[in-house]
């Protein structure tokens, strides 16, 4: 790889890492796993960088993240590893008016199975169609629909109503 290509890649990483990290965190539900996921995706992108000049490199990185996350949760289904010292990271304060709802949503998302969480991130955060999500995950549109339906139904059970949030204030 020549110096110009290295510089373009470094500029891309510097400018797009925050947005890609947000997506990785939504996919994994854990900051450390998100960092690992993004690092793997960027490493794979670097290998293919010279072929991505005119294409959308961010789209390529996101596709690598989606597919890698699918591979991780498929492996996880086979080999469950439970950490004895699992600690939750401290929540950062959100200055927005609906911070309670955001925190409740985040907690509810983390309680969803990885497959359902991934479908919701792709459908509603990345704004992909059901067909696009099915292509990204390598499953049928019907599977995407059923996972979305189950995930939304579960979120409705887990997220408190606005009246419950008032009590927290």
Q: Cα–Cα distance between 23 and 87 in angstroms, integer?
A: 22
Q: Kindly report, residue by residue over 36-92, the tens digit of the pLDDT.
A: 999 999 999 888 888 776 677 888 899 899 988 888 767 665 555 556 555 555 555
Query: Nearest-5° angle of CA 82, CA 62, CA 38?
Result: 45
- pLDDT at residue 141 in the model: 94
| Domains parsed from the chain with CATH numbers | 1-81 (1.10.1740), 94-169 (1.10.10.10)
Per-residue pLDDT of 91-144, as tens digits, reads: 555 455 567 777 778 888 889 998 899 999 899 888 899 999 999 889 999 999
pTM score of the predicted model? 0.55
Nearest to 31, CA basis, from 81, 69, 88, 79: 88
Q: What is the rounded CA–CA span in Å between residue 39 and residue 17?
A: 10
The percentage of the chain sitting over the pLDDT mark of 90, rounded to a whole number, equals 33
The answer to whether residues 120 and 148 touch, using CB atoms and an 8 Å cutoff, is yes
State the CB neighbour count (10 A cutoff) for residue 166: 10
Query: Residue with structure tokens 């490493």?
Result: 43
């Amino acid at each position: 790889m020549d110096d110009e290509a290295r510089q373009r890649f470094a500029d891309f990483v510097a400018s797009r890492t925050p947005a890609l990290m947000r997506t990785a965190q939504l996919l994994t539900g854990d900051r450390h796993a998100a960092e690992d996921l993004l690092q793997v995706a960027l490493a794979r992108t670097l290998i293919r960088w010279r072929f991505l000049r005119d294409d959308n490199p961010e789209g390529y990185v996101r596709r690598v993240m989606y597919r890698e996350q699918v591979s991780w949760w498929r492996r996880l289904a086979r080999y469950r590893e439970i950490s004895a010292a699992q600690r939750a990271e401290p929540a950062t304060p959100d200055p927005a008016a609906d911070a309670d709802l955001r925190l409740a949503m985040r907690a509810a998302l983390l309680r969803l199975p990885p497959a359902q969480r991934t479908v919701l991130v792709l459908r509603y955060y990345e704004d992909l169609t059901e067909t696009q999500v099915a292509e990204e995950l390598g499953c049928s549109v019907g599977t995407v629909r059923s996972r979305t339906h189950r995930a939304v139904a579960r979120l409705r059970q887990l997220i408190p109503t606005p009246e419950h949030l008032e009590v927290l204030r």
